[in-house]
Chain A
């Protein structure tokens, strides 16, 4: 589904922040993206959500070479990707409802469908009573749920989350990861960028480890099944 071949990224005339990155994400897979600060995680994430184009190498997403796509095709491709940003990036002039509805409106879905789907999803993430609230009046956790709802409302084929548990305590962090796990089981390919070792240990998924711009793939350590690992979370 997603294939990176000898991908490199350089800002200006500086050194390469990503060097010869090669990996494949199969449909419905779940990966953690980890590595020390400055290793290039944010840069790789921005390549994944097509916020940047690589300075070298080949990227194929959903069977298409992104280097050969025009602007409209790239926009259509981005619509198939859901992103939860580290700082949520909610639009503060819009209600929670309109924030979540935004990707559907961009896709030009009918208003009736938007109303039903967004209301249902907001109820599901426990924000049914806050649909008219502006994001800056919500708590950090609530904002994060709005951001997640916005990322998943279109049932994206690829879900990217940048440090989604960064500002949360462990319990809420684990709950959030369980939500991503659930979406993954429904067929969404998930990539989570995180530093949180305990979360990576709890959820046994493959790890993309970045170090000094170079990527290696690690299999998860075998430590019991998922049910055992999540005991105490639910």
Chain B
């Protein structure tokens, strides 16, 4: 009975279990007390945050690259022909004449072997094009509207545009060819600059991470200076000591990097969703290719490897000051 009561009380009493103090509970992983260091969380968090920023910079660079590529590809082998609505003296040409000149020009273009397609832009398309300047309520009949022809050449065609323009002027004296090259070059240059900025930002983030890792390792070493010195005096080679810091930094970086990349991807998804809902067309499309996604997923590995090499370099420099 007494025994039963004792067993019962031991089950009920949460403090019954005897605590074991002053005994090493964890399996030894490092000779230096690295796992209990206060700056582990700091380093993990820092690498995580830097990874978030890295993911954003990298995705922005990918998106801008895809956008430029799409634009260039979309306008490749395409020109537009404009039949102005006014003559050289500035006099308005009757809309009917403009229309017939446009039809003649389109007809002539479609007879050429190197032209895949020449289509006159519909009135609603022209209205849509002009609406940012003239508003949606414009009355088409009261405004002189130029004739516009969208021309697509064969993929292998290499047309002489100056000659083509002269031919067009036979049917429409003031016909003008617009290759979109000028504004496209400007846009490509602009997006290129943005892409370069994103890459530069990524590099700065990477460099900042490495400097912070080096600082973290340095502070860890000064925190454990006595232990470090003891290992050195016991005959531990520089690479033996460095290996411990390397492994520790690799694990911390992988933890921080993986968490950061996951957080970055979630953030990207949210940005994409919010931009989509707001109908912001200027925000580049964040749809990434499979290769780009794979690149993002494996990005913690090079980050961790770089952090590991930084740790090694830092430890060896500190140890080199010892005899």
| Residue B236 interfacial (CB < 8 Å) | yes
Q: Is the CB of B24 within 8 A of A106?
A: no
Question: Would you give the shortest CB distance from A100 to chain B, in whole angstroms?
Answer: 12
Closest residue of chain A to B230 (Cβ to Cβ) is A89
| Residue A136 interfacial (CB < 8 Å) | yes
Q: Is the CB of A71 within 8 A of B238?
A: yes
| Residue B234 interfacial (CB < 8 Å) | yes
Report chain A residues within 8 Å CB of B232. 75, 78
Q: Is the CB of B28 within 8 A of A132?
A: no
Report chain A residues within 8 Å CB of B73. none
Interface residues of B in 5-41 (CB under 8 A from A): 21-24, 28, 31, 33, 36
- How far apart sit A80 and B234, CA to CA, in the bound complex (Å)? 9
Which among A76, A80, A133 is the interface contact of B22 at CB below 8 angstroms?
A133
Stretch binding the partner chain, chosen from A30-38, A49-57, A120-128, A172-180: A49-57
Q: Is the CB of A71 within 8 A of B22?
A: no
Q: Is the CB of B233 within 8 A of A106?
A: no
- How far apart sit A81 and B36, CA to CA, in the bound complex (Å)? 30
| Residue A98 interfacial (CB < 8 Å) | yes
Report chain A residues within 8 Å CB of B231. 102, 106
Interface residues of A in 40-70 (CB under 8 A from B): 49-53
Closest residue of chain B to A97 (Cβ to Cβ) is B24
Q: Is the CB of B233 within 8 A of A91?
A: no
Using known A-B contacts A50-B323, A94-B28, determine if residue A134 contacts B22 with beta carbons closer than 8 Å: yes
| Residue A105 interfacial (CB < 8 Å) | yes
**What 0/1 readout, one digit per residue, does chain B (214-235) give for beta carbons within 8 Å of chain A?**
0000000000001101111111
Q: Is the CB of B24 within 8 A of A132?
A: yes
Q: Size of chain B's interface in residues, with CB distance under 8 A?
A: 23
Q: Is the CB of A136 within 8 A of B22?
A: yes
| Residue A74 interfacial (CB < 8 Å) | yes
| Residue B240 interfacial (CB < 8 Å) | yes
Report chain B residues within 8 Å CB of A83. 233-234
Report chain B residues within 8 Å CB of A98. 24, 28
**What 0/1 readout, one digit per residue, does chain A (77-110) give for beta carbons within 8 Å of chain B?**
1111101000001011111001000110111000
Q: Is the CB of B33 within 8 A of A95?
A: no
- How far apart sit A76 and B22, CA to CA, in the bound complex (Å)? 34
Q: Is the CB of B36 within 8 A of A93?
A: yes
Q: Is the CB of B22 within 8 A of A107?
A: no
- How far apart sit A72 and B319, CA to CA, in the bound complex (Å)? 12
Closest residue of chain A to B20 (Cβ to Cβ) is A132
Closest residue of chain A to B35 (Cβ to Cβ) is A93
| Residue B292 interfacial (CB < 8 Å) | no
Q: Is the CB of B36 within 8 A of A51?
A: no
Using known A-B contacts A74-B323, A106-B240, determine if residue A51 contacts B233 with beta carbons closer than 8 Å: yes
Question: Would you give the shortest CB distance from B236 to chain A, in whole angstroms?
Answer: 5
Q: Is the CB of A91 within 8 A of B323?
A: no
| Residue B185 interfacial (CB < 8 Å) | no
| Residue A137 interfacial (CB < 8 Å) | yes
Q: Is the CB of A79 within 8 A of B36?
A: no
Report chain A residues within 8 Å CB of B21. 137
| Residue B131 interfacial (CB < 8 Å) | no
- How far apart sit A107 and B237, CA to CA, in the bound complex (Å)? 9
Report chain B residues within 8 Å CB of A81. 235
Please indicate which of the listed interface residues B227, B232, B235 has the most CB atoms of chain A within 10 Å of its own CB: B235
Question: Would you give the shortest CB distance from B297 to chain A, in whole angstroms?
Answer: 36
Q: Is the CB of A107 within 8 A of B23?
A: no
Using known A-B contacts A103-B234, A106-B234, determine if residue A91 contacts B31 with beta carbons closer than 8 Å: yes
Using known A-B contacts A51-B233, A79-B234, determine if residue A102 contacts B31 with beta carbons closer than 8 Å: yes
Report chain B residues within 8 Å CB of A133. 22-24
- How far apart sit A222 and B192, CA to CA, in the bound complex (Å)? 92
Q: Is the CB of B236 within 8 A of A75?
A: yes
Q: Is the CB of B22 within 8 A of A78?
A: no
Interface residues of B in 225-265 (CB under 8 A from A): 226-227, 229-238, 240
- How far apart sit A132 and B320, CA to CA, in the bound complex (Å)? 34
Report chain B residues within 8 Å CB of A49. 233
Q: Is the CB of B323 within 8 A of A51?
A: yes
Q: Is the CB of B24 within 8 A of A79?
A: no
Q: Is the CB of A107 within 8 A of B235?
A: yes
Question: Would you give the shortest CB distance from A78 to chain B, in whole angstroms?
Answer: 4
Using known A-B contacts A53-B323, A134-B24, determine if residue A93 contacts B234 with beta carbons closer than 8 Å: no
Report chain B residues within 8 Å CB of A51. 229, 233, 323
Closest residue of chain B to A93 (Cβ to Cβ) is B33
Interface residues of B in 299-323 (CB under 8 A from A): 320, 323
Binding site for A on B (CB under 8 A): 21-24, 28, 31, 33, 36, 226-227, 229-238, 240, 320, 323
Contacts A95-B28, A133-B24, A134-B24 known; 13 new A-B pairs at CB < 8 A: A50-B233, A50-B323, A51-B233, A71-B320, A75-B240, A77-B235, A91-B31, A95-B23, A98-B24, A102-B231, A106-B236, A137-B22, A137-B23
Listed A/B pairs (10) with beta-carbon separation below 8 Å: A78-B235, A89-B226, A93-B36, A98-B24, A102-B31, A105-B31, A106-B231, A133-B23, A134-B22, A137-B21
